[in-house]
Structure 1
Amino acid sequence: MRALLSIDYTYDFIATNGKLTTGEAGQAIEEALVAVTKDYFASGDLVVFAIDGHDPTDRYHPENKLFPPHNVVGTGGRALYGSLATFYQTNQTAENVYWIDKRHYSAFSGTDLDVRLRERGITELCLTGVCTDICVLHTAVDAYNLGYQLVIPKNAVASFDPVGHEWALNHFQNTLGAKII
């Protein structure tokens, strides 16, 4: 069984005027990312939206010292971007669509994601979204350590750091055994 994890494809990470934007790199993957999402959804596979939710007044959260406020809970910056937003709005009540609010880079850190996947017998995860070398990377490492097989469509992940993006793709394949498609 397989599932798709759509990671942080939000206004703040993608829009030209987003608070922590990947800009053109993130915008360029929209069509491929949405196509992969629709394919998984149509096949009846679980589609998980793992989305950052931050509080800029949380003095204990390390990201607040590393990055400008982004994906702040209750703001439009946290909304899914472009045609992925339309897909989600149309299908959010479907049994195979699940939204996870995440507080850390990894979609597994502090969430019930592993439990949700295991109760459905899921063994393979396809990761899409941003940033390849931050949230996608940390999610992939945790998934690998939990025993999941990984698939990464290289045209459905992006970063604001081209060197980090390429490094992460190589790491996924050569260190985590991911299938890069």
Structure 2
Amino acid sequence: MKSLIVIDYTNDFVAPDGALTCKEPGQAIEGRIGELIRDFLAEGDFVVMAVDAHKEQDPYHPETGLYPPHNIIGTSGRNLYGSIQGIYEEFEDTIYWMDKTRYSAFQGTDLALQLRARGISEIHLVGVCTDICVLHTAIEGFYHGFRVVIHEDAVASFNPVGHEWALGHFQHQLGMAVVKK
């Protein structure tokens, strides 16, 4: 079995006026992410929305001070971007929503337990940012023993150099599959 994990595809990370937005690179992958969600659901696979969740001005969070406030609980910045919000609402009973408070979707969450309970051995990652949350989720998934697949045409970053570096790192240092449609 396999799972699709959609990482941080929210207004704050993707919308033109988002607090920490990838802008056009993030917006350009919307259609592909939607297509992958629908394909995985049609095949009966487990789809996860791993969504960054922050408290405003949390003095104990390691990202406070590194980035402007983003994905604040209770704000529209945490809504999924564009058509992905509608897809989630359509399949809300099937898609697993998971708040995360660190870069990795595994850190401090029940993601590994949810995947293991379903007999999943392969995870497919899409979303933003390639060189931050996608990277850390991929590495931790690798250490949990999952086969990790990165969809190059469905990840983006606000840092083009970091994006390209991460894609190479996935493939050459971690032996992950980096695929395109």
Q: 1:113 aligned to 2:95? A: no
Task: Figure out how many residues of one structure are paired with residues of the other and give that number.
Answer: 179
Number of the residue aligned with 1:22: 22
Per-residue deviation at 1:68?
Answer: 0.3
Number of the residue aligned with 1:138: 136
Per-residue deviation at 1:3?
Answer: 0.2
Q: Percent identity?
A: 55
Per-residue deviation at 1:80?
Answer: 0.2
Contact 1:5 1:47 (8 Å CA) reproduced: yes
Contact 2:48 2:96 (8 Å CA) reproduced: yes
- 1:8-87 to structure 2, matched below 5 A, reads 8-87=8-87
Partners of 2:171 and 2:104 in 1: CA distance = 18
Instruction: Give TM-score, length-normalised by structure 1.
Output: 0.98
Partners of 2:3 and 2:174 in 1: CA distance = 18
Per-residue deviation at 1:57?
Answer: 2.4
Partners of 1:178 and 1:124 in 2: CA distance = 11
Letter in 1 for 2:9: Y
Per-residue deviation at 1:99?
Answer: 0.7
Contact 2:5 2:50 (8 Å CA) reproduced: yes
Instruction: Give TM-score, length-normalised by structure 2.
Output: 0.98
- 1:147-158 to structure 2, matched below 5 A, reads 147-158=145-156
SS in 1 for 2:65: helix
Q: Summarize deviations over 1:21-48 as a string: whole Å, max 9, x none.
A: 0000100111111111111111000000
Contact 1:5 1:50 (8 Å CA) reproduced: yes
Contact 1:56 1:64 (8 Å CA) reproduced: no
Consecutive unaligned residues in structure 2, runs of 5 or more: none
Number of the residue aligned with 2:92: 92
Q: How well do the aligned residues superpose, as a CA RMSD in angstroms?
A: 0.6
Per-residue deviation at 1:149?
Answer: 0.3
